[in-house]
Amino acid sequence: MRFDYGYFEEKKLGKPYDLRLLRRLVPFARPYGRLFAAAIVLVVLITVLDLALPYVTKIAIDRYIVPPVASGGPDAKREKVRTYRVDLSRPQAAQVVEKHPDLFAVEDGRATIRFESLSTLTAKELKALRSRDYSGIAFAAGVLLAMVVANFVLNFLQVMILEYGGQQILHDLRMALFSHIQDLSISFFNRNPVGRLVTRITNDVQNMHELFTSVVVFVFKDLFLLVGIAVVLLGLDVKLALITFTVLPFVMVASFKFSSMARSVFRILRIRLAEINTRFSETIGGIAVIQLFGQQGENYRRFEKLNHDNFLAGMEQIRIFAVFMPVIEVLGAAAVAVVIYAGGRGVLAESVTLGSLVAFISYMRMFFRPIRDIAEKYNVMQNAMASAERIFLLLDTDERLPEPVPDTTPGDFQIGRIDVEEVGFAYVEGEPVLTDVSFSVDAGETVAVVGPTGSGKTTMMHLLARFYDPHQGKIRVGRRDFSKISVRRYRSRIALVTQDPFLFSASIRENIALSGNELPPGRLDEIVSAAQCRRLVDQLPDGLDTILAEGGGSISSGERQLLSIARAFARDPELILLDEATSYIDSETEQRVQAALANLMRGRTAVVIAHRLSTARTADRILVMHKGRIIESGGHQALMARRGFYYRLHQVQG
């Protein structure tokens, strides 16, 4: 038997479409649309406050710290002289003017003084003269402080709202993935390593966190801030704004180059991480074999290669950002240098106020901050989009068994007779495992299936459990086509006891009653006794409430078998599918298992894979399989009398 271990993650995805992926995320975000709308409103208010801060500084400088240039002078050229105007209606200011008549020029009820002459006044006189400026500066400082406090409060509310909405979306996305994975067919899990599936539901979902909590809203904020800064700069000085905008084409080229390189790196990183998780999961699961055969060195070398490939991909990512971020910093510094040069000349020529120049520098520094933020958010977004591709590839993988639509399974559905009609099946196309298999099982009958390893016994059992559907022929249950019966409804009427039963990391009580409903104490005691588990339960410190290790590793193989039989009892099935496992246990435990199985199968339909022919003797009928076909059928005595394949098997086992 060969399985195709090709994993969907390695498929060539082609050109990514981020907008398409974002649209697919909308249904997960829609229930929390009001939260995101509130966050966007808060972001707009925060952005307005950010834009207002440098402008308040400009007003403080131009209106209160360095007053504008006023025209004056006796010559014909009307030389521009920086003067300070004094309102003589204020008594304290009028006293200063009267005290220094040589410094002030009085005209039309106003006095003016050259700006450089202010330094000749005493501190007390200067304070009396500029009392309104001091008050204006204090008011501007108070406004700035209030805006900072408001910015803090709004940022706090916005972060809390976004985090709440983002965590809710991650919760829903993780549950959708978990629910989808649970419904996939067994063939899917045969091809896909556990580590990669774990990566999808843990790392990849977590990578979506910042997409919802920062990228979507903050990119909106950054774009709004960029537009707002551009508008304010044009409002302050059109010529200076256009000069500084000459740097933007270089920023666009750098950003486009960065975006084209980043996506492929993030995709490779997601694959490398999944491969590391897979290797680590396989190492933990097979540690006993690795240590027994001394494969630590070889396993280490394989992991080292995967880890080195991941390291190289990570360094490639760092290299891209190590180039891009300094380029943006250099371009930002170049833009500030342009502003200082062109704006400084304007201040010297007195065509630009000092406050406007300071505001320009602040706005240009602020202008490149959202560009850096957008680059970082693009980093996060590409990481999230690489994860989203994997998540939706998994969600788009529809390998569930077909369900009847609508479900026509009657409420009183009974399994009754089972008819297998010319069934064929192959795990890999062209390599049949079963060929033209036909037999029937009457209600209440026990049928044993025997044959050498690889004859198709377990595959036949998996078809009866409907882990797979046959590729040829039909299986009828209660004279109804298998495919017309709801998988959930059918499986609720059967129980499967395997060679190596799986037990969960939970209490014995929870492992027996898997339905989640508490069994009545009397019923649970009956099940424990019938399944021969009483001795096991009594010797454990917490009895039925004892917590088992993962996979039931804290108890023996035979005890795990007994608990799986108890689990089957709790289901009260009509059909028992049993893969006999008594070859793995000691004689005493084997007797207990055989007694428990006899109790379980009494009055029920049973199909048993018999590894020991001694088990098959008690069956009502024996099916002998060889190379995917049923070659003999009948009771033990009849088959022995034929002296055919079954007889030879019996002779070999002695």
626: its two tokens: 């060889």
- What would the mean pLDDT of 91-118 be, rounded to a whole number? 78
Residue 464, in any domain of the structure: no
Residue with tokens 């990669």: 196
Helix, strand or coil, per DSSP, at residue 364: helix
The answer to whether residues 118 and 84 touch, using CB atoms and an 8 Å cutoff, is yes
Structural domain range at position 547: 502-572
The count of domains in the chain is 2
| Strand-pair category, 418-425 with 434-441 | antiparallel
The answer to whether residues 223 and 230 touch, using CB atoms and an 8 Å cutoff, is no
Q: Give yes or no for residue 543 having a pLDDT over 70.
A: yes
Tell me the HSE value of 318 on the side-chain side, using a 13 A CA sphere: 6
Considering only residues 103 and 437, tell me which one the structure prediction assigns the higher pLDDT: 437
Q: Is the alpha carbon torsion for 403, 409, 411, 414 positive or negative?
A: negative
Peptide bond into 406 cis (omega under 30): yes
State the Cα–Cα distance between residues 23 and 29, nearest whole angstrom: 10
Domain of 529, CATH number, reads: 3.40.50.300
75: its two tokens: 């010559």
Question: Is residue 100 very low, low, confident or very high in pLDDT (cuts 50, 70, 90)?
Answer: confident
pLDDT of residue 154: 92
Examine the domain organization and report whether 391 and 520 are in the same domain: no
Among candidate residues 358, 378, 396, the one where a domain is terminated = 396
464: its two tokens: 């009866």
**DSSP designation for 574:** S
Host H or E run for residue 460: helix 457-464
Helix, strand or coil, per DSSP, at residue 166: helix
What are the φ and ψ backbone dihedral angles of 555, each rounded to 5 degrees?
-125, 170
Helix, strand or coil, per DSSP, at residue 80: strand
pLDDT of residue 447: 92
pLDDT (tens digit, 9 = 90+) per residue, 23-36? 888 888 888 888 88
Q: Give yes or no for residue 5 having a pLDDT over 60.
A: no
User: How far is Cα of residue 547 from the mean position of the Cα atoms in its chain?
Assistant: 30
Residue 246, in any domain of the structure: yes
The answer to whether residues 368 and 335 touch, using CB atoms and an 8 Å cutoff, is yes
pLDDT (tens digit, 9 = 90+) per residue, 392-425? 888 888 777 777 666 566 666 778 889 999 999 9
Q: Give yes or no for residue 12 having a pLDDT over 50.
A: no
State the Cα–Cα distance between residues 631 and 146, nearest whole angstrom: 90
pLDDT of residue 409: 61
Examine the domain organization and report whether 369 and 511 are in the same domain: no
Residue 427, in any domain of the structure: no
Host H or E run for residue 345: helix 296-348
State the Cα–Cα distance between residues 104 and 98, nearest whole angstrom: 9
Residue with tokens 């999961």: 281
pLDDT (tens digit, 9 = 90+) per residue, 278-318? 788 778 777 777 776 777 888 888 888 888 988 888 888 88
- What would the mean pLDDT of 148-172 be, rounded to a whole number? 89
Residue of 498, 617, 482, 516 whose CA lies nearest to 564 = 498
User: CB-based contacts of 459: which residues, under 8 Å, 6+ apart?
Assistant: 425, 427, 433, 434, 468
Examine the domain organization and report whether 247 and 377 are in the same domain: yes
Mean pLDDT of the chain: 80
Examine the domain organization and report whether 386 and 519 are in the same domain: no
Question: Is residue 387 very low, low, confident or very high in pLDDT (cuts 50, 70, 90)?
Answer: confident
Q: Give yes or no for residue 76 having a pLDDT over 60.
A: no
- What would the mean pLDDT of 158-187 be, rounded to a whole number? 86
The answer to whether residues 30 and 207 touch, using CB atoms and an 8 Å cutoff, is no
Domain of 251, CATH number, reads: 1.20.1560.10
Examine the domain organization and report whether 390 and 508 are in the same domain: no
User: CB-based contacts of 432: which residues, under 8 Å, 6+ apart?
Assistant: 424, 425, 426, 628
Among candidate residues 572, 599, 620, the one where a domain is terminated = 572
Q: Give yes or no for residue 596 having a pLDDT over 50.
A: yes
Helix, strand or coil, per DSSP, at residue 271: helix
Host H or E run for residue 543: none
Examine the domain organization and report whether 392 and 506 are in the same domain: no
Residue 597, in any domain of the structure: no
Among candidate residues 396, 414, 432, the one where a domain is terminated = 396
The answer to whether residues 626 and 645 touch, using CB atoms and an 8 Å cutoff, is yes
Residue 634, in any domain of the structure: no
Helix, strand or coil, per DSSP, at residue 576: strand
Residue 313, in any domain of the structure: yes
pLDDT of residue 129: 75
DSSP string covering 247-290: GHHHHHHHHHHHHHHHHHHHHHHHHHHHHHHHHHHHHHHTHHHH
State if pTM tops 0.95: no
- What would the mean pLDDT of 488-499 be, rounded to a whole number? 83
Examine the domain organization and report whether 388 and 512 are in the same domain: no
State the Cα–Cα distance between residues 46 and 444, nearest whole angstrom: 74
Residue 455, in any domain of the structure: no
Question: Is residue 564 very low, low, confident or very high in pLDDT (cuts 50, 70, 90)?
Answer: confident
Per the rule left: phi > 0, alpha: psi between -120 and 50, beta: everything else, 101 is alpha
Say which range, 349-363, 421-435, 581-595, has the weakest mean pLDDT: 581-595
Examine the domain organization and report whether 183 and 307 are in the same domain: yes
Residue 80, in any domain of the structure: no
- What would the mean pLDDT of 184-194 be, rounded to a whole number? 79
Question: Is residue 67 very low, low, confident or very high in pLDDT (cuts 50, 70, 90)?
Answer: low
The answer to whether residues 85 and 64 touch, using CB atoms and an 8 Å cutoff, is no
State the Cα–Cα distance between residues 538 and 544, nearest whole angstrom: 8
